A and B are shown apart, each in its own frame.
Chain A
């Protein structure tokens, strides 16, 4: 009952309120699109650094793997929470982590455990390794969509998040990222899409910047190509 009376009240109010609609100027459709001039990889790297992350440029996936070794050391990583993703497969992440003695937690291993064990594993990981659905050069943003094998917690729980991004995954503007979602079809929208722009931050103590309050304190983006 409450639903019907709620909606009919809103309907009446919306009609009555139409008398007070504001005076508006038509806005051309291209307004709001900023884009990124020049090389998208360069711009992405610049913006990632500007928001408090660290970007690395490497020529290929082999070099990305070598770089990852230094990040594993920096994070003193004993265990890693990993996406299952084409880019990570081509990079040979599984074998690489094995060779470095880092325990790899991924969909395959996690889904064999019951819920409490699964949760404990996720919470204990030292580093999260993912790729992206796309990256946005103008703002230095990563767009990650959730799917089985591409957990939202990989970019969230560990103190360090590393994303491996290939050149062709980068788009110029936020509006391009939304166009990509439209292309895939709105009925296929994943349960969670996160736009990540920087390490976890807060200004809650005296308006001064403090990093790493809930999400990763260390945010690393490896740009390939």
Chain B
């Protein structure tokens, strides 16, 4: 069993976790499907959208323009929600957001909360904050429900229980069932449906995330395939929605463009099964829907990103396409990354939210192949941002490796003195180059340098230097 609830802080633990994941046959089989069956569905869905590239460009434009005047749009959103009887809270960080949620729940005297899937609540560790106060919190997305029972973290933005096989799911669900459930997906889903229906019927409060918030109308948009987001907002008397502040879009007319690209990128559907537009609490005379509506707008480090060269990371609509496209994610899965958000966008977001110092490994957890950027429905330039983060690490002395600095200083010294460079290359070709003239790969470099050869071979220098070859043979016509 790979480690599933563990924040990895150093590069070496990341490598260990990756090595574990690579030798886990069950995980490898599931990850393989991301590229095969899901990748094919994604491509087919995009083919049915003419000029899809320009539609993505439009979605990107809307995000860019909104962020340029984010404060104005947030104020408009606030006004619209208030005018429809909702309440709005601004939270500087996760702790404040958790406290606001707790205050609302306690003011209602509520005992039981149902949640629909939300990465933002994962980011602020809301479940833990509620549980220590004895507020029963039930995740209702099937994947989230499974990992909540197992005590795992989500391994994928869209499919949080992606790392588990059907057999493992059956074992996990058999505990609350009190009997051994068969390894059949329909039976397992049926059991979860029955259990969760009971919880929906009893819960006093429903907590959801927000996929989009429309400023001009005060509408929040929730997207799901299972329908749990609809149940969470239709049955309990109180609805609390928590949004990262970058989720606002100015107009209702902007929404269809995002809907058209989101599901295609995420699951290869033209539209997800359920898109809910919720505008305030239920109106007079209605029999379902929450009686009161609360919207919490979260900063938690986002304003710092907004003013930085990495502001584009705030375009992210959390579709998971970059994870599915990434050769690294598809090899090691989500948990090895160690943060709340995994995959390429996680490698950008986690250091930004959580600090580079604790996540030094993440900017390097990429081959910079660019598949993530190509898959992104809003074309975020993820490889560029990873390079910028790598650069930032070199401006922070605390994050620099001394050995690496020494190596670069020596390299610079050598390059400035041609005689030293010539001498160095002559020595290397006459010693290493000559010894390794048959098998040209070094399996192990000495001392600390072995860090590099742990996962790859190092090419040995050629027995004849280019400059020697050129002098002897090359320049003859």
Partners in one complex: yes
Instruction: Give me the interface of A with B, judged by CB distance under 8 Å.
Output: 2-3, 5-18, 20-22, 24-25, 27-28, 31-32, 34, 51, 107, 110-111, 118-119, 122-123, 138-139, 141, 146-148, 151-153, 156, 174-175, 177-178, 181-182, 186, 189-208, 210, 212-216
Instruction: Give me the interface of B with A, judged by CB distance under 8 Å.
Output: 30, 33-34, 37-38, 48-51, 54-55, 57-58, 60-61, 64, 67-71, 74-75, 90-92, 96, 140-143, 146, 159-162, 164-166, 169, 185-186, 188-190, 192-193, 196-197, 201, 216-217, 219, 225-228, 230-231, 233-235, 245, 252-253, 255-257, 259-260, 267, 269-289, 297, 299, 303-304, 306-309, 311-312
Asked if A146 and B271 make an inter-chain contact with CB atoms under 8 angstroms apart, the answer reads no
B49's closest neighbor in chain A, by CB? A34
Which of A107, A192, A198, A212 lies in contact with B193, CB distance below 8 A?
Answer: A212
Asked if A10 and B161 make an inter-chain contact with CB atoms under 8 angstroms apart, the answer reads no
Interface centre among B159, B228, B306, B312 (most CB of A within 10 A): B306
26 contacts between A and B (CB under 8 A): A7-B90, A12-B307, A21-B68, A24-B61, A25-B57, A31-B55, A32-B260, A151-B287, A156-B230, A189-B277, A191-B289, A192-B289, A197-B275, A200-B226, A201-B225, A201-B226, A202-B225, A204-B141, A204-B142, A205-B166, A206-B164, A206-B166, A207-B159, A208-B166, A210-B189, A213-B189
Which of A25, A122, A148, A202 lies in contact with B286, CB distance below 8 A?
Answer: A148
Asked if B55 and A10 make an inter-chain contact with CB atoms under 8 angstroms apart, the answer reads no
A190–B219 Cα distance when bound, in Å, is 10
Chain A residues in 8 Å Cβ range of B165 = 206
Chain B residues in 8 Å Cβ range of A206 = 30, 33, 164-166, 185
Seed contacts A24-B60, A191-B280; 10 additional CB < 8 Å A-B pairs: A2-B96, A25-B57, A27-B61, A32-B55, A32-B257, A139-B271, A178-B255, A186-B217, A205-B164, A206-B30
Asked if B252 and A191 make an inter-chain contact with CB atoms under 8 angstroms apart, the answer reads no
Asked if A215 and B49 make an inter-chain contact with CB atoms under 8 angstroms apart, the answer reads no
A173's closest neighbor in chain B, by CB? B256
Which of A28, A31, A197, A207 lies in contact with B273, CB distance below 8 A?
Answer: A197
Q: How many pairs of residues, A versus B, come closer than 8 Å at their CB atoms? A: 266
Chain A residues in 8 Å Cβ range of B231 = 156, 214-215
Closest chain-B Cβ to A139's Cβ sits at a distance in Å of 5
Closest chain-B Cβ to A195's Cβ sits at a distance in Å of 4
B378's closest neighbor in chain A, by CB? A22
Instruction: List the 6 shortest-distance A-B pairs measured between CB atoms, nearest first.
Output: A215-B227, A16-B307, A204-B143, A148-B285, A13-B307, A214-B227
Chain B residues in 8 Å Cβ range of A148 = 283-287
